[in-house]
Structure 1
Amino acid sequence: MIESSYAISFTFLAYLVVMLGIGLYAYKNTSSSEDYFLGGRSLGPWPTALSAGASDMSGWLLLGLPGYAFASGLESIWLAGGLLVGTWLNWLICAKRLRTYSIKADNSLTLPGFLSSRFQDKSKAIQTISALFILLFFLFYTSSGLVAGGKLFETVFGLDYTYAVILGTVCVVSYTLFGGFLAVAWTDLIQGLMMSAALVIVPLISLDGGFSQLSDTLMSKNPELLTIWNDVKGEPLSTIGIISLVAWGLGYFGQPHILARFKAARSNKDITTARRIAVSWTLISMAGALLIGFVGIVYVDGNLAGNLADGEKIFMVLVNAVFHPVVAGILLAAILAAIMSTADSQLLVSSSALAEDFYKQLFNKQATQKQIVNVGRFAVIAISILALILALNPKSSVLGLVSYAWAGFGAAFGPAILISLFWRNMNRNGALAGIIVGGVTIVVWKQLSGGWFDVYEIVPGFILSTIAIVIVSMMSGKPEEAVTQSFDDYEEALKTMD
């Protein structure tokens, strides 16, 4: 047991050294705010695709989704299917347009900055309110990654949960603080490959007797695990339940850390290749995550007394039980990779909101590049501390924290981004109304329950935000001529920009 712990510890340490090395390299190549927040818009198709995928999926892909499949069986396919379709549509509809428009809109580095420039909002109200929602929801999102890290170190090393969360936080902050976007993107490339490899290897090696044996075992254990129409108790899934699971796909259109990858791509031509890579990676990874949950049902039933108290630990249970300690260390490092790949992106987007959208716009409009980068680094530390405080509750659910933040971003920014990229008559008032209505709806709806109030809050948030944008834009008149002219310029640039 001691040798096993040493082997896993050594593997973890080696992995962290590599990540820190990348952070140091990126630090030497980061001289401006564009470098720090968007990597100088220099990413090729592979880092663009896998950085978007890895920063999207996070620890919930190796903990939350397998845990959900472990608890609910094939019902989880509704959730995975919605996410896969959402990934594809986001790349197909948003990626090229957002990259092009953000460059033409004063080379906007942040999502709030883009919306403010898109509608030429001299009051900076859009930028300020958008940044507030980013900071609010990213506190919960980043916290979910730290919870996942706490569960990892607690399970693998037997650490006290509090110390485990603190250790995970230090790991993530260390390279994000110095290397910025380049460090995050290149570590995401490595982490994304590790995640997909682990998600394929673990269930296939753990699968004893092949897929037919797995199906027969699940059928004998509980036939309801093999239907997408009933829950595990045999009761039909409600319309609200199915809509809530599939609606996760709507969240993609408003996730700042994913949309940042589109803006950072080297060219529009690369985005087509990146889309194919990203969708394929997502399909393989989610299929592996679901299979881990299914295999885990059989394994726990046959090898552990009683039920696994925390289903989100099923990946770690299988790895520790089936693989040699050295291999287990590598596979468990994939969880750390998943956690770090998203938490670092979230910290970076949050720091850019504070530095670009608060500090520069409200307090120091003449700030130098060095000042902005330094404020961004300070923001990484401050936000990490707040997220750490939220994560210290050991009863926190990774999937639960992610679902709230995911809905918040999807409703507050999804409709605003989508409509701003396609409707020339959308104006500043409509954008502001959509962001506020979407964000507030999530916060309020989360507190309600019963009947349709049980639907996932992203559904009413997305719908009401869209309605607010359209109605307020139409009621407050057409946008200024300069705004519509700039939109026409964006459209023209889209035809010619590589």
Structure 2
Amino acid sequence: MSATTQYIIVIVAYFIAMLGIGFLFNNKVTSDKDYFIAKDKLNAPAIGFSFSATQMSGSTYMGTVGSIRTLGYAFIPAAISSAAAPWFCYVLVGDRIRKVSARLKSVTMADIFEARFGKVAGLLATIIMMVASVPTIAAQLKAAGNSFEVLLGIPYIAALFIFGGIVILYTILGGMFAVAWTDLIQGILMICGFVILLPVVLTNCGGFTAMHEAYAQFNPAGISISGSQPMMWVISGFLVWGFFQVGGQPAATTRFLTTSNEKTLKSALVYSILFESFIFLALAVISIGAGVLLPVVENSDMALPMLIQGYLPPIVGGIVLAAALGAMMSTIDSVLLMVSSLFVNNIYEKYIKKGENAKSGLNAGRITTIVVGVLGLLVAINPPDAVLWIITTGFSLMAAAFTFPLLLGLWWPRTTKAGGLAGIVTGSIACLAWYIAGYVLYGSLSKWIGGIWPAIFGSVISLVVTVVVSLATKPDSKEVLDVFFDDTEVEGEPA
């Protein structure tokens, strides 16, 4: 039996399992709220793994491996800081969002922004999240298509539509139920994949010391912590992939809307931390090893598939590839669900078909999921080369727009509607302006003035503007503040 046939057997079995989960949970979806957030119907492992699997995405397995291999140790702080993202997200906003969403019966993160900063802010947040999410979907599809092409010999376009079609199908069938439970299974596969690959890479490199010395020969500039990048670039990357996940990953923080139970959310945090800590520490080692074992790679995003192909038996490699595909699928399904929920809940039901029944919203959600998925497929047909930097662009826009307005809105009563709205607007504009300036000067989406990442620049502008405008405008009403700062619990069903 050929290696390609063995890969295909494993991947087909994996896809059948994912589709089976979609069909299994199809009958549980009876309303648009079930479809979008499965409120109080998910347990802690499903929430915790789903949060982390969504956050990590295909950039972890494809883009980050390729970027560390190319940039060296300068990018490792950014990668490892991602393991701290659950701490920042759960501790700084998770419990607050849980309480507020239980009180408001929120379905989307845009509902939170609307309740705190007004309808215009809610609509603007909806639009930014929807627009910034399409590149993320396209990037995951690109990574999957490239993997299929390298390992299975399937033409890139065919691979796109096979992979994308399966993700779209199980998402429209089971909604958040299917997304969360497939994320749990995919997360377990990710752990298994790195448990297999990590010792293989280390053994073939001759151990940590030999790997380090060999990498110094492969990439002399990359062996230092700053490498060829300004130190501010390294520091910015560390902050962006850790702290700024608070605002930059609304598809992940949407998990805080799925439960009103405090104990469930705290337990979910533990699962997220353990999961991500292992994955990102292992990833740093595997990525450096990729430079040693694969000194010549035409496309850096293909480093992981080439490691699988060159150093693992096909059946075992199929399992690791399934883990990589799982990272991509978990992000695509979550982003698809987030975008469809934003459109249905914050545009369709409020401005187009007011007062329609739950079934109408459910049907609209499924149709939107298909439309957004197809749009992502079309963009993925001819996207830019580097997966990581496609994702980073959309992520940075949301991080700059949302991080500080969200934090201040949840923790500082003096934040006003005008301040929050101004912070969202100026943060997003400043981020885009910084990207444009960097591209004009350096012709790249990964190089910026002074090494300062656009997410950092835009967020600082957003913070200053939010504070200044809030202090200059009238405080919000007691009714609004009570929703956000009254600590009375509104418990739902235990998950």
Same fold by TM-score, threshold 0.5 exceeded?
A: yes
Partner of 2:479: 482
CA-to-partner distance for each residue in 1:28-49, whole Å, 9 max, x for gaps?
1011222111112322221111
CA distance in 2, matches of 1:488, 1:9: 53
Question: Which one-letter code corresponds to 2:475 in the other structure?
Answer: K
Name which of structure 1's ranges 436-445 and 58-67 shifts more when overlaid on structure 2. Answer: 436-445
Partner of 2:378: 389
- Structure 2: gaps of 5 or more residues: 442-447
Query: Which SS does the other structure have where 2:476 is aligned?
Result: coil
Q: Which of residues 323, 326, 335 in structure 2 aligns to 1:334?
A: 323
CA distance in 2, matches of 1:217, 1:291: 13
- Structure 1: gaps of 5 or more residues: 232-236, 302-306
Q: Which of residues 164, 170, 175 in structure 1 aligns to 2:170?
A: 175
Task: Determine whether 1:493 maps to 2:485.
Answer: no
Cα pair distance change 1:29/1:217, threshold 3 Å: same
Partner of 1:253: 246
CA-to-partner distance for each residue in 1:60-83, whole Å, 9 max, x for gaps?
111011111111222222212332
Partner of 2:18: 19
Equivalent runs, 1:366-445 vs 2, <5 Å: 366-393=355-382, 395-445=384-434
Partner of 1:294: 288
Note the C-alpha offset of 1:228. Answer: 1.2
CA distance in 2, matches of 1:175, 1:76: 35
Note the C-alpha offset of 1:411. Answer: 1.4
Partner of 1:242: 234
Q: Which of residues 260, 265, 268 in structure 2 aligns to 1:271?
A: 265
Partner of 2:112: 114
Note the C-alpha offset of 1:497. Answer: 12
Partner of 1:234: none
CA distance in 2, matches of 1:434, 1:225: 37
- Tell me the percent identity: 27
Number of matched residues?
482
Partner of 1:144: 139
Partner of 1:213: 210
Query: Which SS does the other structure have where 1:426 is aligned?
Result: coil
CA distance in 2, matches of 1:4, 1:496: 50
Query: Which SS does the other structure have where 1:493 is aligned?
Result: coil
CA distance in 1, matches of 2:291, 2:300: 9
Question: Is the contact between residue 54 and residue 331 of structure 2 (CA under 8 Å) also seen in structure 1?
Answer: yes
Question: Is the contact between residue 136 and residue 390 of structure 2 (CA under 8 Å) also seen in structure 1?
Answer: yes
Partner of 1:304: none
Question: Is the contact between residue 21 and residue 181 of structure 2 (CA under 8 Å) also seen in structure 1?
Answer: yes
Partner of 2:444: none
Partner of 1:347: 336
CA distance in 2, matches of 1:87, 1:464: 25
Note the C-alpha offset of 1:291. Answer: 1.6
CA distance in 2, matches of 1:430, 1:374: 36
CA distance in 2, matches of 1:495, 1:352: 23
Note the C-alpha offset of 1:145. Answer: 0.8
Cα pair distance change 1:34/1:411, threshold 3 Å: same
Question: Is the contact between residue 233 and residue 450 of structure 2 (CA under 8 Å) also seen in structure 1?
Answer: no
Query: Which SS does the other structure have where 2:437 is aligned?
Result: coil
- Give me the CA root mean square deviation: 2.1
Cα pair distance change 1:409/1:475, threshold 3 Å: same
Question: Is the contact between residue 39 and residue 258 of structure 2 (CA under 8 Å) also seen in structure 1?
Answer: yes
Partner of 2:33: 34
Cα pair distance change 1:215/1:487, threshold 3 Å: closer
Question: Is the contact between residue 47 and residue 255 of structure 2 (CA under 8 Å) also seen in structure 1?
Answer: yes
Question: Which one-letter code corresponds to 1:109 in the other structure?
Answer: V
Question: Is the contact between residue 134 and residue 350 of structure 1 (CA under 8 Å) also seen in structure 2?
Answer: yes
Question: Is the contact between residue 250 and residue 410 of structure 1 (CA under 8 Å) also seen in structure 2?
Answer: no
Cα pair distance change 1:370/1:322, threshold 3 Å: same
CA distance in 2, matches of 1:394, 1:256: 23
Question: Is the contact between residue 60 and residue 398 of structure 1 (CA under 8 Å) also seen in structure 2?
Answer: yes
CA distance in 2, matches of 1:488, 1:74: 43
Note the C-alpha offset of 1:382. Answer: 1.1
Question: Which one-letter code corresponds to 1:492 in the other structure?
Answer: T
Question: Which one-letter code corresponds to 1:326 in the other structure?
Answer: I
Note the C-alpha offset of 1:261. Answer: 1.0
Question: Which one-letter code corresponds to 2:37 in the other structure?
Answer: L
Note the C-alpha offset of 1:310. Answer: 1.0
CA distance in 2, matches of 1:276, 1:241: 30
CA distance in 2, matches of 1:103, 1:173: 29
CA distance in 2, matches of 1:36, 1:84: 29
Partner of 2:194: 199
Question: Is the contact between residue 261 and residue 491 of structure 2 (CA under 8 Å) also seen in structure 1?
Answer: no
Query: Which SS does the other structure have where 2:105 is aligned?
Result: coil
Question: Is the contact between residue 26 and residue 179 of structure 1 (CA under 8 Å) also seen in structure 2?
Answer: yes
Query: Which SS does the other structure have where 2:42 is aligned?
Result: coil
Question: Is the contact between residue 69 and residue 290 of structure 1 (CA under 8 Å) also seen in structure 2?
Answer: yes
Query: Which SS does the other structure have where 2:436 is aligned?
Result: coil
Question: Which one-letter code corresponds to 1:493 in the other structure?
Answer: E
CA distance in 1, matches of 2:405, 2:321: 38
Note the C-alpha offset of 1:90. Answer: 1.4
Note the C-alpha offset of 1:23. Answer: 0.6
Equivalent runs, 1:219-234 vs 2, <5 Å: 219-231=216-228
TM-score calculated relative to the size of structure 2: 0.92
CA distance in 1, matches of 2:148, 2:43: 34
Q: Which of residues 262, 276, 290 in structure 2 aligns to 1:282?
A: 276
Q: Which of residues 305, 309, 333 in structure 2 aligns to 1:316?
A: 305
Cα pair distance change 1:496/1:27, threshold 3 Å: closer
Note the C-alpha offset of 1:358. Answer: 0.3
Question: Which one-letter code corresponds to 1:372 in the other structure?
Answer: G
CA distance in 2, matches of 1:27, 1:426: 42
